Amino acid sequence: MWIMKELKKVGIIYKPEATNVLTICEKIEKFFFSKQIVTKVAEINHAICDIDMAIIVGGDGTILKAARFYAPHNIPIFGINVGRLGFLSQLKVDEIESGLEKLINNNYKIDERLMLAFEHSNALNDIVIKNSNSSKTVEFMVYLNDKPVCNYLADGMIISTPTGSTAYTLSAGGPVVEPSLEAIILVPICAHTLNARPLVIPADETIEIRPQDYNENFTTFIDGQIEISGKKNIVIQKSQYKAKIILLNKDNTNEDGFYSVLREKLNWGIDPRT
């Protein structure tokens, strides 16, 4: 487990479009000022790295962007949700002071999350591959470590981390995978066959997607935020970097954080009649 050094300087990184975000940032600044901890405030598009920890004020998209930026710098991130779902966040706005007290009292753990690498980009959630001609399905072969595995006719393919298994992957029929596992999930998008199923593989496998028609090109989407067009063969590997996500310890020690988030955010395991 990665351990954070002494907390001396905190970055407050925010999404400028979020509601009341400057008021929230000011509240966080005042809290750390009262604890004699230096803060630096910056928009997500101008993130700073001369800090010990980054507090991200925004939604899941802001946290994904921050994770890609901070992973190579070994800086842990902590999310405060001002978006909708807030699956990757730890606190709601009305929980800021109590949550930050836990933070400075070292009442937390740091999860190291698997990331994926494609070209010069890293993904915390997923890499989505589609035909560059978005109106057409595409036939492609999936190779693992240069060995052919499966031929698909589909709208595309989702290559997901365990962290991303509760995002687009879940909507496309993929499994929920506990985020500490070293695994990668492959899910075809709207496959034109009944025998195409999601596949969970070891994280060290090298994945290559090749179109069967040489005239076809792929467009890839990194965490739904970075678009790379005009690629023929897509090679995806486990990233050398890991996102370091701060998780507060639960007051109720009998409750597992990940599964409680599934119940709270996705109504997982809840009787639909209630």
Residue numbers of the chain with a pLDDT score lower than 50: none
User: Is-same-fold flag (9-106; 117-240)?
Assistant: no
Is residue 60 annotated as part of the catalytic site, yes or no?
Answer: yes
How confident is the model at residue 2, as a pLDDT?
58
How confident is the model at residue 193, as a pLDDT?
82
CATH of the structural domain 117-240, one choice from 3.30.499.10, 2.60.200.30, 3.30.160.270, 3.90.25.10: 2.60.200.30
How confident is the model at residue 270, as a pLDDT?
72
Q: Taking the domain 9-106, which CATH number applies?
A: 3.40.50.10330
pLDDT tens-digit map of 4-38? 667 899 999 999 887 789 999 999 999 999 999 99
Which tokens is 253 given? 């020690």
**Is the alpha carbon torsion for 109, 176, 252, 60 positive or negative?**
positive
Q: Where are the domains of the chain?
A: 9-106, 117-240
How confident is the model at residue 5, as a pLDDT?
67
How confident is the model at residue 4, as a pLDDT?
65
Q: Which of 60, 111, 126, 223 is catalytic?
A: 60
**Terminal alpha carbon distance of the chain:** 39
